[in-house]
Amino acid sequence: MSSLPEASAPATLSASTRHSILLLSFATFASMAVQRLCDAMLPELARVFDTSLAQAAHVISFFAVIYGVSQLIYGPIGDRVGKYRIVSVATLCCSVGCVLSVLAPSLGWLVVARVLTGLAAAAIIPLGMAWVGDHVTYEERQFTLARVGVGTTLGIVGGQLLGGLFTDTVGWRWAFVFMAVLFGVVGVLLIRDQRRQPARPVAPADLEQAPDRMLASYLDQVRMIVTAPWSRIVLTVAVVEGAAGFGVLAIWASHLHTSLGLSLTASGATVAMFGVGGVLYMMLAKWLIPRLGEAGLTRVGVVLMGACALVVAWTEVWWLAPPACLVSGFGFFMFHNTMQANATQMAPAARGTGVSLFAAGLFLGQSVGVVLAASLVAALGSAWVIVLGGVVLVAEGFYFASALSRREDLVKAFSA
């Protein structure tokens, strides 16, 4: 295990690395967009397939389950075969999954198609993050992850907006047609770029910091990561973040649709402002990170997220919802980007495995959060479920900020 210094100003990346990061951003955009694509569709899917909102939510929760479980496979494969190569092939496979979604004659078929898409999409974001970890120093990494994160956050915007727009106009199936084409084009570009990719560079610092046991079998790598005190904190917080953050976010569009009478397009576009807020954070990250530090980013971020969740839950006027979603996304990604940076450094010599475990926790938490949130809506109402998610995020954010002050001691004690 290695210590985690506070980020400083980034150095200039090479042109080839910037090009690869741009393509990874397109891939992460598509991966996140296909995850959020069904959020605004849920009321329509429930109507078309004559089922409940909770049953329709399986297109999200089952996607998240397979997405999370698959991380346990892609981590070691990426470490051995090549992270960029796996991302390239997985992007093309997502196109096939979206085609199957277009052809779905029943909800069960659509759920299976979503599972297959999630199986492929699972590789893209975590292995993209791990690739950045392999090629960029920690001092530059949080800024670089923020650049890749622009694709992820725009994917939230695109998924929410496209899902509602297509559903309200030409039909929900056309949203999957669009995604199939997008994945196909990006996949081809990635494969072309992958052919020129050099072998993974191993930084001297990583060799010095990584003990021989990190290079042992996958099970040994997993055991080493999950038994480290600091890694356990990061992974546990990831599970809770997935449930209270991304999981509860899935019902925001449905809440605005039912509580304010917005169309699916309008509610999807409103919640898409969450992603716009994330993009705004990525644009300001270079200025914010050295000034607030990781603990400051975490505390300020979750407070903004929690306060705006209250507005989204209880506002009776539609015009307060878009700015609340925007500021909420800004705050959430202040916290989430800090989590990502810490995840890339849990195991430098087995970074693919470490980041994949982080992603597994995040999306398994999301799968539980989606099911739990959709189930609690009937008992508590969507407003109280959104409030509860915000409260949980604030509590865990302050816990993680406090834990950051003990990080060095935890890492040193485990490495001793």
**Looking at residue 102, what is its pLDDT?**
94
CA distance 367 to 138: 30
Model pLDDT, residue 217: 63
Axis crossing angle, helix 382-404 with helix 252-259, rounded to the nearest 10: 150
pLDDT in tens, 153-212: 778 778 878 888 898 888 899 999 999 999 999 999 999 888 776 655 544 444 444 444
Residue 369: closest CA among 212, 243, 280? 243
- What pTM value is reported for the model? 0.69
pLDDT at 234 over 80: yes
As a whole number, mean pLDDT of residues 92-104 equals 95
The pLDDT tens digits for 37-71 are 988 888 889 889 988 877 888 898 888 788 878 87
DSSP 59-80: HHHHHHHHHHHHHHHHHHHHHH
Least confident span in 231-245, 314-328, 340-354: 340-354
Higher pLDDT, residue 130 or 304: 304
Inter-residue contact 235 to 358 (CB < 8 Å): yes
Residue 299: pLDDT band with limits 50, 70, 90: very high
Q: What percent of the chain clears pLDDT 70, i.e. is strictly above it?
A: 87
Structure confidence at residue 12 (pLDDT): 65
pLDDT digits (tens, 9 = 90+) for 327-351: 999 999 899 989 888 887 777 766 7
Given a contact cutoff of 8 angstroms between Cβ atoms, the answer to whether 73 and 222 are in contact is no
CATH topology of domain 18-202+213-415: Growth Hormone; Chain: A; (1.20.1250)
Inform me whether the pLDDT recorded for 9 exceeds 50: no
**Which is more confident, 172 or 126?**
172
Percentage, residues of the chain above pLDDT 90: 33
Among all chains, which residue has been given the structure tokens 């099911």?
371
Q: Spell out the domain ranges in the chain.
A: 18-202+213-415
Across residues 240-266, what is the average pLDDT? 87
Mean pLDDT over all residues of the chain? 83
Q: How far is CA 276 from the centre of its chain?
A: 15
User: In the structure, what pLDDT confidence band is assigned to residue 235 with cuts at 50, 70 and 90?
Assistant: very high
Going 147 to 153 to 158 to 161, the CA torsion angle's sign is negative
Burial class of residue 201 (count of CB atoms within 10 Å of its CB; 0-12, 13-18, 19+): exposed
pLDDT at 198: 61
Q: If you average pLDDT over residues 103-111, what whole number do you get?
A: 92
**Mean pLDDT confidence for 259-281:** 85
Indicate the DSSP class of residue 263: -
Per residue in 350-398, pLDDT (tens digit) is: 676 787 788 788 878 887 888 788 888 888 889 999 999 999 999 999 9
pLDDT, position 180: 96
CA–CA dist 197, 391 (Å, integer): 44
Q: Among the ranges 5-19, 37-51, 129-143, which has the highest mean pLDDT value?
A: 37-51
More confident residue, 209 or 22: 22
Question: Over 80: is that where the pLDDT of 218 sits?
Answer: no
The radius of gyration computed from the CA coordinates of the chain, to the nearest angstrom, equals 20
What pLDDT is attached to residue 120? 94
Count Cβ atoms within 10 A of the Cβ of residue 247 and give its class: 0-12 exposed, 13-18 middle, 19 or more buried: buried
Which one-letter DSSP state was computed for residue 317? S
* Residue 287: C-alpha distances to residues 233, 280, 282, 415 (Å): 27, 12, 10, 33
- pLDDT for position 411: 61
Task: Write the DSSP string, 224-247.
Answer: HHHHSHHHHHHHHHHHHHIIIIII
Tokens of 146: 């923020």
The pLDDT assigned to 208 comes to: 44
Per the document, the length of the chain is 416
Q: Within a 13 Å sphere around the CA of 373, how many CA atoms are in the beta-carbon half? A: 36
pLDDT of residue 229: 84
Whole-number pLDDT of residue 241: 93
- Where would I find the H helices in 15-172? 15-36, 42-48, 53-56, 58-81, 83-102, 107-121, 124-135, 138-168
Q: Supply the pLDDT for residue 349.
A: 66
Give the distance, in angstroms, between the CA of residue 21 and the centroid of all CA atoms in the same chain.
17
Say which range, 99-108, 160-169, 210-219, has the weakest mean pLDDT.
210-219
